[in-house]
Structures are given as C-alpha cells and as structure tokens.
C-alpha cells in the first residue's frame, strides 16, 4: 500500500475508535445536542414574543422570530460540537493510549483526523436533531433542494473549520477541564453576530465586530438560503472564513501534536 492508502486506512481505524467511544459516552453527545435545543426553546418561547415584534407585529411575531433565529441556533449546535472535540482530544492526550499510538508506525496525522471527522459526524447528527425539533415547533423554511444542499455544505465546512480549531485548543490545554472551558468562546460568538438580533440594534463597537466576524457571514448565508432569497456574497465570505479557520486550526493542531512531549 502507498503512504496515502495507509494514511486513509489508519484514519478510518481511528474514526471507528472515536465513534465507538462517542457511543459509549452518550452523556456528552446528549449534553452537546441538548444545549442548542434549550436555547431554541428559550429564545422562541421566552424571548421570541418580544424579539419577534421587531420583525412582524401581531400574533405571527413568534414564528417570524423562529425563522430568524434558526441559523443562530444551528451555529450554536456547531460550536457546541466543536467544544466536544476539545474535550475528547484532551481526554485522549492525557490518557496512556496516546503514547502507545506515538510509538507505533502509523500515519501520524490519523489520531487527529479520526477525532475531527468523528466530531463532524457528531455535529451533523446534532444539527439533524435540532432541525427536527425546530420543524416540530413550526419552523417552515422555504428552501428548495439545491438550497438545502448548499446549507448542509456550508454548515459542514464551517463545522470542519471550528473542529480543527477546537482540536488545537484541546491539544493546547494541559487538563481536560481547561479544554472544556476555552472553546466556550466559540459558543459565545453566535450571540455576538446577526444570529439572534439585528446587528443594527447593537451599540457602535459591538456592531462593527458583529458585522465582520465569521459567524455573521455563515449566519447570513444560511439564513438567505433557508428563506429562499439566496446567499449572495455571504456565501463566498462564509467559505473563505471556513477555509481560513480550517487551515489555521489544522496547522496549529499539527504543530502542537508533533511538538508535544510525552506525558
């Protein structure tokens, strides 16, 4: 077999291991998927009546807000899954088995690749559950099949990017506790974007930040696609952001992994 074939085989082996571990540790997936659902219920039923009044007046304002907030909730789901990556990577790095992997003649990148792909699968599962709940609550997007594919593609790409970044955060953390705390910034960023309220309602400094941060580009692109108005230039920005974050996260993670001293 060629080097590339070995890399693929080893990564697939690691992916199988990581997915098995996720299944054996379901409370984490439950927590990571549960959080965005709680936010969804909170924002639609507690804040939705009032926040929705900014979009439509009258009894339809809550469902108008549900339509508005869904991209934000989906990105919270992605951010939560990324937080899970940091935790599982840190758990692995503090356990003895990682030293075994490092003394074996396996594709060096396969350990991280396995984690990253497992997390992307976990995130896609989470997105499906959250979407199902939203549909049950009355979310009716007007996207066609092509737009849906674009939404899935954009979200997967952005997840991939955040997960690499989070894998690096997990490697940088010395303990599992730190690893579960640092990526919390990622779950905060959707709130500082156009995900939950109109950017125009924010004060000056925050408004500029919200306008030019990646979560806003992805939110706007997904929102455009779901509402049937198209993604426009936001799609390009979202893809560019994703590619940039993925590359930076990947390089940082590889650097930390190769530099890492034995336990």
Partner 1 sequence: MSSGPAITVAGLSKSFDGKVVLDGIDLTVAEGTIFALLGPNGAGKTTMVQILSTLIPAGSGQVRVAGHDVVADPDGVRAAIGVTGQFSAVDDLLTGEENLRLMADLHHLGRGRGRARVAELLERFDLADAARKQVSAYSGGMRRRLDLAMTLVGTPRLIFLDEPTTGLDPRSRRAMWRSIRELAASGVTIFLTTQYLDEADELASRVAVLDRGRIVAEGSPGELKRRIPGGHVLLQFAAPEAWKSAAGLLGPVSGDEENLTLQVPSDGTVASLRRLLGRLDDARIEVEQLSIHTPDLDDVFFAVTGRLSTEPVRVPEKEATLR
Please identify, using beta-carbon distances, which residue of 136 and 259 lies nearer to partner 1: 259
Residue 104 lies near partner 1 (rule: CB under 8 A)? yes
Number of residues interacting with partner 1: please give it, by CB under 8 A: 25
Q: CA–CA separation, 92 vs 22, rounded Å?
A: 12
Q: Which long-range contacts (CB under 8 A, 24 or more apart) does 193-196 make?
A: 193/72, 193/75, 193/219, 194/72, 194/219, 194/220, 194/223, 195/69, 195/71, 195/72, 195/73, 195/75, 195/76, 195/219, 196/43, 196/51, 196/69, 196/72
Our finding on whether 25 is near partner 1 (CB under 8 A) is yes
Which segment (18-26, 122-130, 168-176, 201-209) binds partner 1 by CB under 8 A? 18-26
Whether 194 and 237 have beta carbons less than 8 Å apart is answered as no
Among 7, 21, 56, 202, binds partner 1 (CB under 8 A): 21
Nearest to 247 by CA among 168, 193, 153: 168
- Closer CB to partner 1, 6 or 252, in the complex: 6
Contact segment (CB under 8 A) with partner 1 among 2-10, 209-217, 221-229, 244-252 equals 2-10
Which of 59, 103, 203, 205 lies at the binding interface for partner 1 (CB under 8 A)? 103
Identify whether the C-beta of residue 166 lies closer than 8 Å to the C-beta of residue 183: yes
- Please report whether residue 4 would count as binding partner 1 according to CB under 8 A: no
Is residue 6 close enough to count as binding partner 1 by CB under 8 A? yes
Residues that bind partner 1 (CB under 8 A): 1, 6, 9-10, 13, 16-17, 20-21, 24-25, 95-97, 99-106, 261-263
């Amino acid at each position: 077999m060629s080097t590339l074939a070995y890399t693929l085989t080893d990564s697939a082996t690691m992916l199988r291991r990581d997915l098995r571990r996720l299944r054996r540790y379901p409370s984490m997936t439950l927590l990571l998927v549960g959080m965005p659902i709680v936010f969804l219920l909170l924002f639609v039923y507690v804040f939705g009546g009032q926040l929705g009044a900014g979009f439509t007046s009258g009894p339809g304002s809550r469902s108008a807000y549900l339509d508005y907030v869904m991209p934000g909730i989906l990105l919270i789901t992605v951010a939560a899954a990324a937080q899970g990556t940091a935790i599982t990577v840190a758990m692995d790095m503090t356990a003895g088995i990682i030293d075994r992997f490092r003394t074996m003649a396996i594709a060096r990148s396969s350990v991280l690749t396995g984690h990253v792909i497992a997390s992307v699968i976990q995130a896609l599962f989470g997105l499906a559950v959250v979407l199902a709940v939203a549909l049950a609550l009355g979310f009716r997007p007007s996207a066609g099949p092509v737009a849906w594919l674009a939404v899935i593609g954009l979200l997967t790409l952005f997840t991939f990017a955040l997960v690499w970044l989070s894998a690096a955060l997990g490697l940088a953390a010395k303990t599992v506790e730190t690893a579960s705390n640092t990526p919390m910034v990622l779950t905060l960023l959707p709130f500082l974007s156009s995900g939950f309220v109109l950017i125009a309602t924010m004060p000056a400094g925050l408004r500029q930040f919200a306008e030019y941060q990646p979560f806003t580009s992805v939110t706007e692109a997904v929102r455009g696609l779901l509402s049937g108005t198209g993604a426009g230039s936001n799609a390009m920005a979202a893809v560019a952001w994703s590619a940039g974050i993925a590359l930076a996260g990947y390089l940082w993670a590889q650097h930390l992994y190769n530099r890492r001293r034995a336990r």
